[in-house]
Structure 1
């Protein structure tokens, strides 16, 4: 067992980082940029690397150090993740203050920033000096979809690690090994997730989410008139909001339970006055509403990927490339084949461009219902 066991489909990168973690600390870069497409496991890779650097045995996976780093509870490893659209400048200033502290128990103070591409330029400029000249015992690990998503001033000062998209077989094996998923379910979940490990876990572990995806794909393939587009958009928005509410409620309940555990309180114990403010902040209505909106946008973004997979499959058939790259939506092959005949190649490309436009509108805080109504109307053959 090791800290790398949860890393899927990144054998070469794991070999490189594990060798560096066990090597001469004086030769180790102190600023890293871990890049990979959504779902490739870049945040997990950063945590595993941090554990290997802190562990006396360089990532054994069983010692207290490894377990605490991977669980996010190690005092010398700080992770900045955000539910917000952007990472705030005050959050970065707090990180910088933390980075300048001497490690309390481990060789390094490691700062992991997930989604560094969400920083505005002025926030990134605050971070720049620390990335360029880190404190003696500090290592920065920044995570982003690609190096191009990060300002040149930042990426030029980091050692870049590029992750590959895991193969379907590797993802399916991971689902079977880590979740005990049925092999057929794991294979299908891996194929539909298109290399996104988190989405694959979701599909393999939640029948309703998989059913919602199936319904969306069938709805797209059956679009014939504007009323179909409006109804499909409404159904999608309702499902996204329901998924988001359930997910946020589950996370808030877990955070409240963890707060009680950390403070030595039972499930039904009254919260002492001194702790009440911190406890109430977890379930604050405004915070829950913001997190739900963000989570809903994530679900809708995943829906856009599912819709795009239909026209990707159409293009594959139009270009006689099925033997080379395969289809994603195998269960809908007959309907996709029919659509590939009804559309010409320019029509398939135009629909993929319409999906890209919808994604940009969502990122720009466009009204989700209007965005998807417009998109589904544009997809009608």
Structure 2
């Protein structure tokens, strides 16, 4: 599909697009008035960051987001000099980094009409970082727009959200995601429909499942867990496998990234392999290692959480069959396993399994030991 404008990828978000188009139109001209802080919220996969970046591109575009001009194409490529994306691979966004961005936000735009700063995962701002950002939002530069992204408004400090205009995104429908995959990515309709349903409204995950056969196999292995665990040993083995695989996938990314970042730090400080260490270098290394450890922890937990969401969808399907709702299954490709567990479990035990998974997610959020939390959860999934 040919991209017609910057809003094309916002699947199933028509009310949001209408709101943002109106804001772009009202922001034009010399006497323009503009809300200088926006808060984009919505469930994972709904496209919070995509919506913010589309809005940023449209604000820079002379035609309100045509999709073809230099501003739009550079914004899409992530190279527009006046659009800054603030993200983190760690557990938090710290105050030092935010202060640097706050200082940069006061500069006039280099090429565009606005200096736009998009804070992905604004829910990860530390209290100090949020306080530093609050001052910038309370006293904004005339040409600066801040865009915060978070799962829900409650995840953001109340003083920040009270000073931001809210944009709430919804979970895209299965049909809309499947249509996007077919038209834009050239995915076969049958495959597109299956992965769109399995993704539970997460466009990026749907695309990943469609393109990666190993991801589909991994998902099927996850969904086979409830059928395969009978006794205590099965519970322990399944928990260990999930923990090990999440740790390994995090290591695949982090090992190379850690090595590259340490080399960059050495070069920045002018440190040779066997040379003298300048004062302060050891502290810089220590800070880097702490950030890298936090990133590894976050990626491991994110990997485990993905498994838990798949298991939740399986239990949802089981309950759907048990209650004879007639609603389409999320995991239609494992309908036989769903039907088997609908006979093995009672509706009450299915709800108990759901509660066990939700409790595990909450425990991980509270920094519980992942393996112990998984082992406890598996007890609730036994046949």
Query: TM-score, normalised on structure 2?
Result: 0.86
1:353 aligns with 2:355: yes
Question: Would you say the 8 A contact 2:86–2:119 is kept in 1?
Answer: yes
Residue range with higher mean Cα deviation, 160-169 or 122-131: 122-131
1:112 aligns with 2:122: no
What does 1:1-381 align with in structure 2 at a 5 Å threshold? 1-25=4-28, 26-248=32-254, 291-323=295-327, 326-381=328-383
Q: CA RMSD in A?
A: 2.8
Judged with a 3 Å threshold, the aligned counterparts in structure 2 of structure 1 residues 288 and 157 are, in CA distance, closer, same or farther, namely: closer
The total of aligned residue pairs comes to: 362
Judged with a 3 Å threshold, the aligned counterparts in structure 2 of structure 1 residues 376 and 72 are, in CA distance, closer, same or farther, namely: same
Counterparts of 1:70 and 1:198, CA distance in 2: 16
SS at match of 1:221: helix
Counterparts of 2:268 and 2:339, CA distance in 1: 64
Counterparts of 2:368 and 2:241, CA distance in 1: 18
- For 2:279, the equivalent position in structure 1 comes to none
| Structure 2: gaps of 5 or more residues | 272-283
SS at match of 1:322: coil
Counterparts of 2:371 and 2:110, CA distance in 1: 50
Deviation at 1:276, TM superposition (A): 7.5
Question: Would you say the 8 A contact 2:181–2:187 is kept in 1?
Answer: yes
Judged with a 3 Å threshold, the aligned counterparts in structure 2 of structure 1 residues 209 and 103 are, in CA distance, closer, same or farther, namely: same
Residue range with higher mean Cα deviation, 84-93 or 284-293: 284-293
Counterparts of 1:80 and 1:151, CA distance in 2: 17
SS at match of 1:18: helix
Question: Would you say the 8 A contact 2:90–2:291 is kept in 1?
Answer: no
Deviation at 1:289, TM superposition (A): 5.8
SS at match of 2:178: helix
Residue range with higher mean Cα deviation, 42-51 or 172-181: 172-181
Judged with a 3 Å threshold, the aligned counterparts in structure 2 of structure 1 residues 153 and 288 are, in CA distance, closer, same or farther, namely: closer
Query: TM-score, normalised on structure 1?
Result: 0.86
TM-superposition CA deviations, 1:125-167 (whole Å, max 9, x none): 2222222331111111111111122222221211111111001
Question: Would you say the 8 A contact 1:212–1:239 is kept in 2?
Answer: no
Judged with a 3 Å threshold, the aligned counterparts in structure 2 of structure 1 residues 300 and 122 are, in CA distance, closer, same or farther, namely: same
Deviation at 1:287, TM superposition (A): 6.4
Counterparts of 1:134 and 1:229, CA distance in 2: 54
| Structure 1: gaps of 5 or more residues | 260-271
Counterparts of 1:121 and 1:254, CA distance in 2: 30
TM-superposition CA deviations, 1:64-84 (whole Å, max 9, x none): 211222222222111111111
SS at match of 1:75: coil
Residue range with higher mean Cα deviation, 98-107 or 108-117: 98-107
Deviation at 1:334, TM superposition (A): 3.1
Judged with a 3 Å threshold, the aligned counterparts in structure 2 of structure 1 residues 114 and 225 are, in CA distance, closer, same or farther, namely: same
Counterparts of 2:222 and 2:56, CA distance in 1: 40
Counterparts of 2:95 and 2:203, CA distance in 1: 30
Judged with a 3 Å threshold, the aligned counterparts in structure 2 of structure 1 residues 232 and 314 are, in CA distance, closer, same or farther, namely: same
